[in-house]
Chain A
Amino acid sequence: MLFLGCLLVNACNKKSGGDNSGPHPLTLPQPAGFPAPQYSFTGNPLTQEGVELGRKLFYDGRLSKDGNFPCASCHQQFAAFATYDHPLSHGFDNQFTFRNAPGLFNMAWNKEMHWDGGITNIEVQPLAPLTAPNEMAESISNVISKLQQDDTYKKMFTAAFGSDTINSQRLLFAITQFVTSLVSANSKYDKVKQGLASFSLTEQNGYTLFQAKCTSCHPEPLFTDHSFRNVGLPLDPFIKDVGRMRITNNRTDSLKFKVPSLRNVALTFPYEHDGRFASITSVLDFYSSDVQTGPTLDPLLKNKIPLTNAEKFYLLEFLKTLTDSTFLNDARFAQP
């Protein structure tokens, strides 16, 4: 105890010596009904300065080899941080990405990143697009040395982490802070849940249908159960993407992909891991009549999800209530 006390006195003395008050802590919003976040923020507490630095990095083309592909080139705020209207996104040297860019929101509640769940800790996710030759095509050490030459970054790293050391851990911590700060929970659906708005008759019909037919994989309030499922999409003969099996090498995971959240779904088209469906109605048509059977097909889809045209219309109207327009226009998330 005495020893600890001495250490504390020492530490306090040092602190009061300088006038550096340190970064300002932020609290991750905890929307009503959301579970505890998956990301613990242990060792990387959310701060104003950390998020601000992360935002600058997210929008900085220098994270890519030729300067043209910041994170934001595939993750656009007006598309809920997906790529608007692109089945696959564009990367370095006129190449396509391997999969459809997912929207980025409520990432702190995400267990595994990527369609195949290959990334198990959000902190290291940025390494994948950053180093992929068909995406940002850069090396980590090149990015670090580019940032080290920029005085603004030196100041911002100091503000966020207490010294001007720029290394991969701090880079990744800052991006993680920005990306986890992207919380979206202010859609019409949320307002209805809070008693601040009410569904139209068609939206209400759609909600009732949704609860009956969709929530086993897309449960509220996150609208995903974070599981991996084969929904019966035929294999694309060119991309030959086997999904989760690429990570687990397990045949029973063949053609399984992560269930995406349906929040902001009206803006994240085209849909599925390869963006093969251009509209929500084509997705509903698929579930209603085109699901292909196979050894790993999800048992819940054995009989497809038969829907009448009227039901599809109601579902569509409900899904549109999941758009969070304050999130899409939030200045805190925009290019600095």
Chain B
Amino acid sequence: MKLTHKLHRVNLPKLCIGLLLVTAVFSCQKELHFDKEPEKDHNIILKFKPVASYDSVPLVLGKTYTNNFKEQYTPTGFKFYVHNFVLANTDSGKTFKLDNDKYYLVDFSDSTTTEIKLSVAPYVYNRLYFTIGVDSARNVSGAQTDALDPANGMFWTWNTGYIMAKLEGTSPKSSTGRFEYHIGGFSGADNVIKQVELLFPYPFSLDMQPGKESQMFVTCDANKWFFNPWDIKIADKPVIAEPGLDATHVAENYKNMFTLDSVYNEQ
């Protein structure tokens, strides 16, 4: 009696979903062991930290730093888009790409944006890849929401496209007292979309276990925007704010600004 009562209360659609999932699992994984629980994801918390000059000097907006050309600058804004996270093991050749290609705007004036949580398949990984920028299709697909909401101030209103990365502030080396690098451009030679490859710190590979969490600290070095492979001197170019050759140079510089500084891997 009790059992039938219970059965009546079963939500039919939910039952269908359940049944179907079971069938799907059955059909896909023939070697499935019934006594084993399905593996849980491993959670990664990526923490972006602004620095000036490698990992030695934490960067604080509104404070003054010195670039490779001994130019003083005081950043007031430092933000960029990241997406397309991939973890890999270069020895086995296995990669894990997140299904949901969500865009994140890392904005160092807003601490809620500097941590990104990723759920990945447990494995031993030794590389983290991501894209800095906004893919070409997303630049021209109209009004969008969340990180890509134009209200975030990262969208050019007069020349359709996203500002993919921004570093701006004041500097005595600029004739106007201000410097402004608004870097974007998605088509042809103007394309500034860059892939970033990060090596893991010692011991170079990490066993990311199911149900566990690891914290990865990624430093973002503002000084790298000005130097290597291209010389960007504030005195010469205080403003780069439209797609073009200068923007591509800055992007080639800043794609090297990231370092996977440290990792805490829960075992």
Q: Do A and B come from one complex?
A: yes
Contact A247 B159 (CB under 8 A): yes
Contact B16 A169 (CB under 8 A): no
Stretch from A119-127, A212-220, A285-293, A295-303 contacting the other chain? A119-127
In whole Å, how far is A13's beta carbon from the nearest beta carbon of chain B?
8
Contact B151 A144 (CB under 8 A): yes
Across-interface contacts of B243 in A (CB, < 8 A): 249
Interface set, chain A 111-144, CB cutoff 8 A to B = 114, 118-124, 127-128, 130-132, 139-141, 144
Across-interface contacts of B144 in A (CB, < 8 A): 169
Interface set, chain B 127-177, CB cutoff 8 A to A = 140-145, 149-151, 155, 157-160
Contact A6 B17 (CB under 8 A): yes
Alpha-carbon distance A132/B158, docked complex (angstroms): 9
Is residue A167 within 8 Å, beta carbon to beta carbon, of the partner chain?
A: yes
Partner of B157, one of A7, A44, A124: A124
Interface centre among A7, A123, A130, A139 (most CB of B within 10 A): A123
In whole Å, how far is B37's beta carbon from the nearest beta carbon of chain A?
23
Across-interface contacts of B190 in A (CB, < 8 A): 249
In whole Å, how far is B100's beta carbon from the nearest beta carbon of chain A?
18
If over half of A's interface residues share one DSSP class (helix, strand or loop), that class is named, otherwise mixed; here it is: helix
Across-interface contacts of B151 in A (CB, < 8 A): 139-141, 144, 167-168
Contact B143 A118 (CB under 8 A): no
Is residue A173 within 8 Å, beta carbon to beta carbon, of the partner chain?
A: yes
Is residue B210 within 8 Å, beta carbon to beta carbon, of the partner chain?
A: no
Is residue A9 within 8 Å, beta carbon to beta carbon, of the partner chain?
A: yes
If over half of B's interface residues share one DSSP class (helix, strand or loop), that class is named, otherwise mixed; here it is: loop
Across-interface contacts of B157 in A (CB, < 8 A): 124, 127-128, 130-132
Interface set, chain A 1-36, CB cutoff 8 A to B = 2-3, 5-7, 9-10
Interface set, chain B 1-54, CB cutoff 8 A to A = 12-14, 16-17, 19-20
Closest chain A residue, CB of each to CB of B149: A168
Alpha-carbon distance A247/B159, docked complex (angstroms): 6
Contact B143 A172 (CB under 8 A): yes
Alpha-carbon distance A168/B149, docked complex (angstroms): 7
Alpha-carbon distance A87/B232, docked complex (angstroms): 41
In whole Å, how far is B237's beta carbon from the nearest beta carbon of chain A?
15
Contact B160 A5 (CB under 8 A): no
Partner of A119, one of B20, B149, B160, B244: B160
Contact A5 B143 (CB under 8 A): no
Alpha-carbon distance A120/B150, docked complex (angstroms): 15
Across-interface contacts of A10 in B (CB, < 8 A): 13
Q: A118-B160, A128-B158, A173-B143 are in contact. Are A3 and B16 (CB under 8 A)?
A: yes
Partner of A127, one of B12, B150, B242, B244: B150
Contact A167 B17 (CB under 8 A): no
Alpha-carbon distance A194/B13, docked complex (angstroms): 55
Alpha-carbon distance A204/B57, docked complex (angstroms): 77
Closest chain A residue, CB of each to CB of B159: A118
Given A124-B143, A169-B143, list of 15 further CB < 8 A pairs?
Answer: A3-B17, A5-B16, A6-B14, A10-B13, A44-B143, A118-B159, A123-B143, A124-B160, A127-B155, A128-B157, A144-B151, A167-B151, A168-B150, A169-B144, A169-B145
The 10 closest A-B pairs by CB, nearest first: A123-B142, A172-B143, A6-B16, A140-B151, A6-B13, A127-B157, A123-B143, A128-B157, A121-B142, A169-B143
Residues of B participating in the A interface, judged by any CB pair closer than 8 Å: 12-14, 16-17, 19-20, 140-145, 149-151, 155, 157-160, 190, 242-244
